[in-house]
Amino acid sequence: MAFYEKGDVKIYYEDTGGSSFPLLIIPGGGLNATIAYTRNTATAPFDATAEFKNEYRCIAFDLRNANGGQSSGPLEVDRPWESYTDDMLGLLDHLGIGEFMALGYCIGGPFIWNLLRRAGRRVVAAVPTQPSGFRPTQPTLFYDNNIKGWAPALCERRPDITMAQCDEFLRNMYTKRSDFVFTVSRDFVRDCQTPVLVLPDDVPAHPYAVAMESVYLAPNAQVSLYPWKDNPEKVQLAVRHVRTFLKANRPA
């Protein structure tokens, strides 16, 4: 049971350890993203830790205040994306890791772009997997999903957090950032030289158009086959692409 602690923040993580190059795995599941998401084939198309632990030091964690997870901390209403990114960078600092690669499911997509913006020199390569993004035809989707599917349970187990605070948190996270990948601009992506491999999806919260737009903009982007989750064979083809990509970008 490993925890990284900093002030009021306590982050549960799992680390396969070893001396191989670090791979940060950001689970999906929106604000309820936990390690359990990546281990369950009903939620994640593949378990990145199981796939890559023989080649990489895989580090996964529960998102701060995710329901069902073991990570907790204050609700930083004014800086939602930044507070989560603090936790990721803080965890890696705690583990003594400088450079790393990142693979993130769903909400891991916006987190990856924020990591690239804030710690671009440390992120050697990144794999947004079925990444989240803004869909103009459903502009309140993320706010609605989280105000219903995340906030009530959080308020129930955390008397210090109110629904009004959750409302403000989610407005700052999604409503006031309602464009593209939420966390960075198109100009940032256009200038980002870090190799990126995107595995697109096209459910309401994971718009294919945004995934492809980021691929077209990023000068060193690759993209997997699509669709890639309809059968186990395609998932394996995509995972082989990820393996090739990670290996090609792993420092010697």
State the residues that interact with other proteins by CB under 8 A.
215-216, 220-226, 233-234, 237, 240-241, 244-245, 247-248
From the list 22, 11, 13, 16, the residue with the least C-alpha distance to 84 is 11
Measured distance CA(120)–CA(141) in Å, rounded: 29
Decide whether 78 or 233 has the Cβ nearer to other proteins: 233
From the list 84, 228, 210, the residue with the least C-alpha distance to 141 is 210
- What is the closest distance, in whole angstroms, from the C-beta atom of residue 206 to other proteins in the complex? 17
Measured distance CA(182)–CA(106) in Å, rounded: 12
- What is the closest distance, in whole angstroms, from the C-beta atom of residue 230 to other proteins in the complex? 11
Decide whether 57 or 241 has the Cβ nearer to other proteins: 241
Decide whether 147 or 218 has the Cβ nearer to other proteins: 218
What is the DSSP code (8-state) at residue 248?
H
33, two tokens = 């993203």
Decide whether 6 or 234 has the Cβ nearer to other proteins: 234
Do residues 237 and 225 lie in contact, with contact meaning Cβ atoms separated by under 8 Å?
yes
Q: What are phi and psi of 102, to 5 degrees?
A: -135, 135
Decide whether 93 or 191 has the Cβ nearer to other proteins: 191
- What is the closest distance, in whole angstroms, from the C-beta atom of residue 168 to other proteins in the complex? 39
- What is the closest distance, in whole angstroms, from the C-beta atom of residue 218 to other proteins in the complex? 10
Measured distance CA(250)–CA(243) in Å, rounded: 10
In 40-111 the beta strands, taken as DSSP E runs, fall at 57-61, 100-105
Q: What are phi and psi of 10, to 5 degrees?
A: -135, 115
- What is the closest distance, in whole angstroms, from the C-beta atom of residue 234 to other proteins in the complex? 8
- What is the closest distance, in whole angstroms, from the C-beta atom of residue 3 to other proteins in the complex? 37
Decide whether 71 or 224 has the Cβ nearer to other proteins: 224
